[in-house]
A and B are shown apart, each in its own frame.
Chain A
Amino acid sequence: MLKESTLVPETAAYRHVIPAGDYWLRRVEAGQIFRIVDLEGNQAADTLFFSAADPAERYSAVDTLRAQGNVYLGLGSKLLSTEGNVMLEITADLVGRHDTLGGACATESNTVRYALEKRTMHACRDSWMLAVTEHEEFGLTKRDITHNINFFMNVPVTPEGGLSFADGVSGPGKYVEMRAEMAVIALISNCPQLNNPCNGYDPTPIEVLIWDPA
């Protein structure tokens, strides 16, 4: 189901464009509205959330999916933590569904998926490794880098148990918006993958916007 937001970019408290291949790491306060815009379409925003109060509590894909009883994220999805608390809720969405099964690309999984010689190609997990190293103040390390959300990405699952990476259902200017129910640390890798259609073989910028509570 699609739903437009009533918020306009001009009133946002914060705006930032993330080029493909870069990471973005920032605290989002409880009550703030957080939007990710797929500026040019068909991009993948690989996203992790941690509780700002206790970063060992983090987004849990498996608990989120089981609790909502559906393998796709969309409007109304409550993003649950490993402790079963609601971290954020998706309150507006122009895409329809988002993936949280496929995980992030890594140089190591690229060797398996494509070729051993692709091991030096840039990948989301490398962006995250740099992020946690450059921002020791959050206390995050590799052990915290786990099962993420792929906003804008389309990973259909079939009743027979198949799973594939399909062409995106997103498009230029489409966005997903969520309200933080607790103070969170948001960590995004704007996916640099060049080997599959998750971003149309052409990684493009995304924008993040944050509004203060009304």
Chain B
Amino acid sequence: MADPAPLYETVLEGGKHWSFTARRGTLLRLTDPHGGANVGMLFYNPQNLLERYNAPDTLKCQHTFKLTRGHCLYSDMGRIFCSIVEDGVGWHDTVAGNADKALVAQRWGTLRYQEHHNGWTQNGHDSFLVEAAKYGLGRRDLAANVNWFSKVAVDETGAMYFETENSPPGSAVALRFEMDTLVLMHTCPHPMNPAPEYPRRPVEVAFRQTDPVAPDDFCRNFRPENGRGFQNNEIFHLCGAAAGSGPC
């Protein structure tokens, strides 16, 4: 893949949150420099915030329990927010949800902002609530999120376990946005991480411009369902960039 200079890059320290609108055609690369990072993420259509990431549809449309290269992240309206065009990890979780304040307190104790400032023990649930509220969204609007770099697998009986060595240092995953997308993200610990200390792992975030999706695109052809998902996006974009009028 062509890898032009990033339009913008930054680092999110562990235990933080952020949000932004990624335009269609943006490549977002997340890198886990030290290994063992977790990035919680939710997606919304900024033109219609009722359209949001749907983990069940994403899983059943692609007959998968894990997310990796080739998979597309679907909205509840049958459209693709973004495709996973690059993945050095092989398994990302979208089933185990978030840690909230009570879970963090129970597992790692509470470090308050008053005493610990930037070293406080922020949790993923509150992080999403804070970012969601900036767009008029609330707790009713949260959904099953993605946990990048984290692996939760099952045994033959369906028992779930957290894989502690899933993401080695330097691992990266890249998302290509297939429509304009509001992204909420946090770098708080995965709710099943058994680390004895609150895991505080930074993540590098880089934005690039990508080329248009080619007919032989890997994600588009990864499954026949994805071809139809891309068709739904094309219908959505019939009105051009300034959708919101016409049949879209």
Q: Which residues of A contact B (CB under 8 A)?
A: 56, 58, 60-63, 65-66, 69-72, 82, 84, 97, 101-104, 106, 108-113, 115-116, 125, 142-144, 146-147, 155, 157-159, 161-165
Contacts and interface: CB of A to CB of B under 8 A. Distances in A.
Contacts of B77: 108
A159 B140 contact: no
Given A56-B138, A66-B191, A161-B64, A113 B160 contact: no
A125 B159 CA distance: 29
B60 interface: yes
Contact of B65 (A60, A72, A157): A157
A163 B158 CA distance: 11
Task: Please provide the 6 A-B residue pairs with the shortest distance between their CB atoms, ordered closest to farther.
Answer: A103-B56, A62-B97, A108-B78, A161-B66, A163-B65, A72-B158
A163 B63 contact: yes
A70 B160 contact: yes
Contacts of B66: 161
B140 A56 contact: yes
Nearest to B50: A142
Interface residues of B, number: 46
A46 to B, nearest CB: 11
Interface of B: 50, 54-57, 59-61, 63-66, 74, 76-79, 91, 95-98, 100, 102, 138-144, 153-160, 191-192, 225, 228-229, 231-232
Contact of B56 (A60, A72, A102): A102
A71 B160 contact: yes
B74 A71 contact: no
Given A101-B59, A111-B78, A162 B64 contact: yes
Given A62-B95, A109-B74, A147 B143 contact: yes
A214 to B, nearest CB: 32
A84 to B, nearest CB: 7
A103 B57 contact: yes
Contacts of B96: 62, 65-66
B85 to A, nearest CB: 19
Contacts of B95: 62, 65, 71, 101
Nearest to A56: B140
Given A106-B78, A144-B140, 12 more contacts: A56-B139, A62-B95, A69-B160, A70-B154, A82-B142, A84-B100, A109-B61, A157-B158, A161-B66, A161-B91, A162-B63, A163-B64
